[in-house]
């Protein structure tokens, strides 16, 4: 029998639905994602740690869950909210249904929610904390404060270095909660990859003799990692570097820029980004709540290379003299369009040129 469940928002508004998956009372920042597909990748993206994801697209789960598309072995999100969660998938690669996958992996979900009304509210008032509950006995005023023991990335970063063999350049991925497809994109370029904990020192990374460093995506406010700015700055001043999403924000912050929180973020597979050099527009995959403040880059050695077409926020930066750049969007895609996958190839070309020049 279907059991009712509720999403209580910090502003006192309550949304009703039915419990799906392994329902447990959960707190988190309530965010929405506009992707029509890619729910498996989204549920396994560590950047959603501690967030309740509202899926805008009304029907989620219709092509099931496969053995290929997980972006990690983690389910770091707090919970998922659907219009309709389909439990009878149809796809030749499907190994499981969304609902039984959620049960198996202890993901708390609510279905049958008026997600259109919920998303309209978040668009107006901004993302806010919410609590998924099985009963309305507790009031919204019982909200627990967002208790933090260290940065959010601590929950999702690897605990020790992991090596992946390859014949090409050696890329160290500083792991803030990296998506598997970042690593596989590097491996497709032939790279040898070492994924290291976010807390590795400059000396620990230098001892691996990288040809380039990639700062990954990850959850939380980038300012939680302020104590690591000096290491990030030194790494970018020593090795060709690419920052993706959180990694991009950290490169900017490490060089003196500032970040701020967007009202409701960019999460989806349909974010248009303009390359300011070529004037080309790319459709990109995105998942972030913070942005690098454009004007703050004036006091750094970085220039803006890409801009969001919808709200003109900074989407890409490049160092004026070093081979270092950052992108707010996801060139590795998954889920979402792969228009910008060439950026990983061009990073590897830069790494190769640099290795050639310095040998």
Ligand X SMILES: NC(=O)CC[C@H](N)C(=O)O
- Within 276-295, the residues that bind ligand X by CB under 6 A are 287-290
Q: Which of 126, 158, 133 is nearest to 81 (CA)?
A: 133
Query: Binding string to ligand X for residues 217 to 256, with x set by CB under 6 A, is what?
Result: xxxx------------------------xx----------
Q: Say how many C-beta atoms besides its own lie within 10 A of residue 259's C-beta.
A: 20
Q: How far apart are CA 255 and CA 236, in angstroms?
A: 9
Stretch that binds ligand X, among 213-221, 228-236, 295-303, 304-312 (CB under 6 A): 213-221
Q: Which is nearer to ligand X, 64 or 219 (CB)?
A: 219
Q: Which residue is nearest to ligand X (CB)?
A: 245
User: What is each CA distance from 252 to 41, 211, 286, 304, 324, in whole angstroms?
Assistant: 27, 21, 18, 11, 11
Q: In angstroms, give the least distance from the CB of 220 to ligand X.
A: 5
Q: Which of 33, 35, 40, 47 binds ligand X (CB under 6 A)?
A: 47
Q: In angstroms, give the least distance from the CB of 93 to ligand X.
A: 26
Task: Judge contact between 150 and 303, C-beta under 8 A.
Answer: no
Q: How far apart are CA 92 and CA 38, in angstroms?
A: 16
Annotated binding site: 47, 218, 220, 246, 249, 287, 289-290
- Within 293-312, the residues that bind ligand X by CB under 6 A are none
H helix or E strand, kind and range, residue 335? none
Cα-flanking dihedrals φ and ψ of residue 202, to 5°? Answer: -60, -45
Q: In angstroms, give the least distance from the CB of 150 to ligand X.
A: 15
Q: In angstroms, give the least distance from the CB of 332 to ligand X.
A: 11
**Sign of the alpha-carbon torsion through 308, 157, 222, 121:** positive
Task: Judge contact between 250 and 226, C-beta under 8 A.
Answer: no
Q: How far apart are CA 192 and CA 179, in angstroms?
A: 17
**Sign of the alpha-carbon torsion through 14, 1, 59, 34:** positive
Stretch that binds ligand X, among 83-91, 98-106, 212-220, 271-279 (CB under 6 A): 212-220
Cα-flanking dihedrals φ and ψ of residue 312, to 5°? Answer: 60, 20
Does 97 engage in binding with ligand X (CB under 6 A)? Answer: no
Distance of CA 20 to the CA centre of its chain: 24
Q: How far apart are CA 157 and CA 177, in angstroms?
A: 5
Q: In angstroms, give the least distance from the CB of 248 to ligand X.
A: 8
Residues taking part in catalysis = 245, 330, 332
Task: Judge contact between 61 and 39, C-beta under 8 A.
Answer: yes
- Within 24-43, the residues that bind ligand X by CB under 6 A are none
DSSP label of 144: P
Annotated binding site for L-glutamine: 47, 218, 220, 246, 249, 287, 289-290
Q: Which of 123, 152, 28 is nearest to 81 (CA)?
A: 28
DSSP label of 12: S
Number of residues that bind ligand X (CB under 6 A): 11
Give the interface with ligand X as residue ranges (CB under 6 A).
47, 217-220, 245-246, 287-290
């Amino acid at each position: 029998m279907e059991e009712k469940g509720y999403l209580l928002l910090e502003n006192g508004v309550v949304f009703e639905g039915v419990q799906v998956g392994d329902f447990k009372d959960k707190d988190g920042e309530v965010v929405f994602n506009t992707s029509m597909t890619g729910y498996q990748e989204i549920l396994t993206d560590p950047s959603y740690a501690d967030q309740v994801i509202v899926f805008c697209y009304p029907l989620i789960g219709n092509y099931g869950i496969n053995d290929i598309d997980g972006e990690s072995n983690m389910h770091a999100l707090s919970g998922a909210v659907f219009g309709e969660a389909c439990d009878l998938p149809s796809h030749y690669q499907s190994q499981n249904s969304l609902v039984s996958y959620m049960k198996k992996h202890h993901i708390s979900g609510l279905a049958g929610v008026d997600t259109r009304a919920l998303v309209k509210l978040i668009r107006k008032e901004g993302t806010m904390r919410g609590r998924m509950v099985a009963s309305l006995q507790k009031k919204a005023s019982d909200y627990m404060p967002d208790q933090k023991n260290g940065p959010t990335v601590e929950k999702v970063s690897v605990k020790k270095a992991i090596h992946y063999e390859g014949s090409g350049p050696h890329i160290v991925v500083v792991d803030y909660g990296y998506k598997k497809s970042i690593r596989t994109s590097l491996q497709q370029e032939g790279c040898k990859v070492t994924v290291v904990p976010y807390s590795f020192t400059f000396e620990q990374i230098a001892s691996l003799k990288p040809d380039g460093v990639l700062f990954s995506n990850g959850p939380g406010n980038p300012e939680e990692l302020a104590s690591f700015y000096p290491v990030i700055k030194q790494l970018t001043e020593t090795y060709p570097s690419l920052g993706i999403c959180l990694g991009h924000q950290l490169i900017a912050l490490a060089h003196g820029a500032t970040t701020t929180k967007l009202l409701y973020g960019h999460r989806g597979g349909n974010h248009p980004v303009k390359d300011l050099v070529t004037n080309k527009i790319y459709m990109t995959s995105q998942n972030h709540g913070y942005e690098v403040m454009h004007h703050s880059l004036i006091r750094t050695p970085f220039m803006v290379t890409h801009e969001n077409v919808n709200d003109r926020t900074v989407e890409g930066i490049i160092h004026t003299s070093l081979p270092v750049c950052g992108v707010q969007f996801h060139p590795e895609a998954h889920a979402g369009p792969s228009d910008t996958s060439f950026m990983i190839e061009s990073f590897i070309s830069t790494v190769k040129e640099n290795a050639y020049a310095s040998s």
